[in-house]
Structures are given as structure tokens and as C-alpha cells.
Structure 1
């Protein structure tokens, strides 16, 4: 990919700020950033980024534009809404969406951008907030091979694993299923924790012993041991509200495919219970606190 005059980055939230910072510092390129919150804009300005006035400003000055947004509605607004990338985009630009968004929406927006000569790739990210800070994310990419080859060096600034999953939308498919499996595993861990403690087994001993057997998993070692065992579910990490959004995308995909997904439906139900108990903003493994509630 020829070097653009400036790199645009829209969305500096839980993951986006760290992704943008790693790209800026490792590439040495000029970055222009936009977000609705002043805090991350001020921090990125201190790191050397320029603050753009609007999405339209990014579209007017950047050839390569990254998005990191909470979900489908925000992606649709930035791309297709008033003052968005569809309105102000131009031929030759590339839009890379690192958000998690519905597959159908991603493919629709890509088709609409293509009519203006703008290429789009979906590149949702996986792993933890700390992985975003450390630059060790896993990124699942939906793009044609030539576009993937041009984008991969940029994605390597923030990820230790970058996988082309197929054409546009396929990155979203794999990311949504990744999260679906994670959520279902965390539900299983919450059940094991409630049952084990109820039967008189120490919670730390339980999970430590599970980690030595066939129940071992990334979820057990990270979400289980680091959050559920110490009962530590901070805000500012991946909250229950975001997890509910992502599991809804999995269930939407299942309905489109005509395939039952009862495990995902159970995960949605357990997270709804946690949300209704007042834990919408806490780190989503907080559902362990309500494992005994209907």
C-alpha cells in the first residue's frame, strides 16, 4: 500500500485507544483521530496524533481509515449516516473496521462503499484489553487477498496473530463465533464455581485443579482465575452490555443460517440476568455473581 498522507482513526474506546497508539508509535506515521470523548483525544494528542474536527474531516484528509466502535449502530452511523464516510469518501480510500458488527451490515456497507471506489475490510479484534495495550491481539480479517496483503503490515503493529478468514464479512463471522464460544465457556465456569463452592470445595483449589485437566482453557485461566476467583469485575474492561451485543450477533447469525444455538441463547440469558441485577457496565464474567438466580 502506498503511504497515505495521514492515517485516520475513529473510535478511541476500550480497545481503540490502545490500537491507535500502537499503530502511531510503531509506524511513525502521521495520525488524525476522532472520538466523542475528550479524554482519549487528549491522551492521543499527547502521543503526537492530530485531533480531527469530525468524521467528515477524517474522510477529507485520510486515505486509510480505521474504525474501532462499540457495535453495529455506531459503525452504520459513521459510515452511512449524515456527515459519514459514504457521504464524504472518495475513490482510492480504504476503510478498515476493527469493531465487532453484524455480518450482513458489514457486507452491505462494503458494497455501498465500493460503489464510490472505496475498499473496505473487516478486521475485528480478539483477546483482552491488556493484549490491546501490549500489541498482542488476534485479528480476524475479511478481505480479498490483495487488500489483505496491503493491510497486514498495519495490523501487525497491534497483533501477534493476523488471520485472513475469507472475503468481506468473514472476519466478523469468526470473531462472533470466537466470542460465542468464550461466553458459553464463562457460563460453564460460573456454574462450576457455584456448584463447587456449594458442595464445600475451595474456589481457588477448584479452578486450579480444573486447569490441570481437560477443563483447562483460556477462559478458565483469564476470565476465571483473574476475575471470577478474586470476584474482581472492573468497569472499563469488556462490559456485560458489550457482551450482550456480541452474543446477539451470534444468535442473529444462527437464525439466518437456520441453525439452533441453545448454548449461545443460555449465555444471553445469563448476561441479561447480570445486566438486570445492575452489572451492565462491569466486566462480563460478573455473571458469576448471579449464577444462582433464575
Structure 2
């Protein structure tokens, strides 16, 4: 594998922009970045060079990071005429920080492998605030030598970096991480609605649950910080984005012949939340569905 001299970064959205900023600031290699929107490129202009296309990023860099909204977008930029496959060269490494379907990840791995290019899946977990602070959690699908090679770069924006197995395994773990989170948020939504109607202050409920065996990251963050104050901003992890990740989990469940009934229940809540006009809001907003008695 060729030496790394220049880094590429494609996708400067909610998570990509702060990750790219940390990457550019905390290591010594130049970074060439691309996004369809001008604003994040302008905000990062002091620490990156700006590419005119994804093809340019691939032609001019050695290690390319992707942070894109879906596996469908990852597939598009890989396979479009001026995309990554058309412009790659032997010895390059692509690290997909996006959450993508496992099957797609493994298919793209084989296509790039045929050209001497390594694709590594490294989806990220935690919040935008964690991306800005450089404290993300990353689940990696790779072999040990390649993992060791990219880990220092991942460490610029993550504090927990786990090798989960060969290619695709990072996506498996990330998708299941999100499935469990969504199911926990659904359980908290149910508990909140029941407590409120039974005469218990939901805030008191959640604060007390946090002291016992029902405590969880979701309770302390999605519950106490979002559901209780009713704070469901846009440009956070929206219902529609969450529904996309849950679809990947349900597809994986079907492929592995597992009856994921809990995940299907959450899918129903997501569908109802979108129907009431909350699709662009932070996904704990599904708690409103139970308040509306539409479930």
C-alpha cells in the first residue's frame, strides 16, 4: 500500500464538518475536501483545500474519508461516471464513516479490491457535539494491519475506536447500536406517556429511573435532555434519518432470519411521526405520537 501524503474528505454535513475540522487541525497532512454545499467549505477554508468534484478528491489524495447521509449516496458517488471507482488508483484507502447497508459495503469492497483499493467501513456513533469535541465512537470493519494504519487519523475525532471484525462488521455493529437506541427511546416514550396519564411528573420519573437499573445513555440524553423539555431541533439526528438506519437493521434481520419485532414496532412509530409532520425533527420526537393517541 502506498504511503499517505494527502487526505481527502467528502461530505461536510452535520457530522462531517466537525470531523473534517478536527482531522485537518490535529494532524500534519493536507486535506482536500468536497461538499455540494458551499457554506461548510467556506467555514473550513482556513484549514483545507477545496475540490471541485469527488473525482478530483480521488485523483489527488491517498486516504479518502466519506461522511454521507445514506448508503444510497455512498453508492452513487462511488459508481457515477466521475466517481470514486472511475478515478481510483492502486494503493489508495477509502474509509466510509457513513452508516451504510452491510451488503452494499461488502459489494463495494470487492469492486475497489479489484482495482487495488482498500475500502474500510468505520461508521461513527454519538452526537454532533461529540464530533465537535473529537469524542466520537467508531466501529471499524477491517483487517488488523489496515486498522492500525488508519487508527491515528480516526483518533483526531474519536476517543473510542473498536475493530469489530473484517469488512462490513463495523456497519453491523453500528446498525445494531442504533436499533437498540431507537427501541430504548420508544420504551422511554411509552413510560413517559403512561406516567403522565397516571399522575407522575415525567421529569421525576426519568430522574428516578436514572438512579436505578433502568438507567441508560438514552434516558440521560434523549429522555432528560430532549423529551422532558420538548427540545427536538432540526439538523440533529432526525426521524427520517433514524428511519433509514432502522431500515438497514430490519433488512439485516431479514437476511439473518431473525424476527426483530421490537424494531418493527419502532418503525411504526417513525412512520406515524413522519405522518404528523415531525420527520425533520430530532428522533425522540416520536414521544409525541403516544401523546396524540394515534398509535
| TM tier, smaller | over 0.9
Instruction: After TM superposition, give the deviation of residue 4 of structure 1 in Å.
Output: 2.7
Instruction: Quote the Cα distance in structure 2 between the aligned partners of 1:66 and 1:85.
Output: 12
2:183 corresponds to which residue?
Answer: 184
Asked if 2 retains the 8 angstrom alpha-carbon contact of 1:210 and 1:216, the reply is: yes
1:293 corresponds to which residue?
Answer: 294
2:126 corresponds to which residue?
Answer: 127
CA RMSD of aligned residues (A): 1.0
1:73 corresponds to which residue?
Answer: 72
Deviation by residue 1:20-66 (Cα, 9 ceiling, x = unmatched): 111111113211100111111111113x2111000110011001000
Asked if 1 retains the 8 angstrom alpha-carbon contact of 2:2 and 2:92, the reply is: no
1:94 corresponds to which residue?
Answer: 93
Deviation by residue 1:125-148 (Cα, 9 ceiling, x = unmatched): 011111111111100000011110
1:223 corresponds to which residue?
Answer: 222
Aligned length: 293
2:41 corresponds to which residue?
Answer: 41
Instruction: Quote the Cα distance in structure 2 between the aligned partners of 1:83 and 1:124.
Output: 24
Asked if 1 retains the 8 angstrom alpha-carbon contact of 2:235 and 2:281, the reply is: yes
- Please state whether the residue corresponding to 1:278 is helix, strand or coil: coil
2:11 corresponds to which residue?
Answer: 11
Deviation by residue 1:141-171 (Cα, 9 ceiling, x = unmatched): 0001111010111111111100000000000
Instruction: After TM superposition, give the deviation of residue 2 of structure 1 in Å.
Output: 6.7
1:53 corresponds to which residue?
Answer: 52
Asked if 2 retains the 8 angstrom alpha-carbon contact of 1:80 and 1:109, the reply is: no
1:26 corresponds to which residue?
Answer: 26
- Please state whether the residue corresponding to 1:245 is helix, strand or coil: helix
- Please state whether the residue corresponding to 2:276 is helix, strand or coil: helix
Asked if 1 retains the 8 angstrom alpha-carbon contact of 2:246 and 2:263, the reply is: yes
- Superposed counterparts of 1:258-277, under 5 Å: 258-277=257-276
TM-score using structure 1 length: 0.98
2:255 corresponds to which residue?
Answer: 256
Deviation by residue 1:176-201 (Cα, 9 ceiling, x = unmatched): 00000000000000000000001111
2:112 corresponds to which residue?
Answer: 113
Q: Which runs of 5+ in 1 are unaligned?
A: none
Instruction: Quote the Cα distance in structure 2 between the aligned partners of 1:268 and 1:71.
Output: 17
Asked if 2 retains the 8 angstrom alpha-carbon contact of 1:164 and 1:171, the reply is: yes
Instruction: Quote the Cα distance in structure 2 between the aligned partners of 1:81 and 1:152.
Output: 29
Most deviating of 79-88 and 233-242: 79-88
Instruction: Quote the Cα distance in structure 1 between the aligned partners of 2:3 and 2:275.
Output: 48
- Superposed counterparts of 1:189-228, under 5 Å: 189-228=188-227
Instruction: Quote the Cα distance in structure 2 between the aligned partners of 1:5 and 1:55.
Output: 18
Instruction: Quote the Cα distance in structure 2 between the aligned partners of 1:3 and 1:269.
Output: 48
Most deviating of 119-128 and 75-84: 75-84
1:284 corresponds to which residue?
Answer: 283
Instruction: Quote the Cα distance in structure 2 between the aligned partners of 1:258 and 1:202.
Output: 41
Deviation by residue 1:39-96 (Cα, 9 ceiling, x = unmatched): 11111113x2111000110011001000000011100011122211101100010000
1:139 corresponds to which residue?
Answer: 138
1:159 corresponds to which residue?
Answer: 158
TM-score using structure 2 length: 0.97
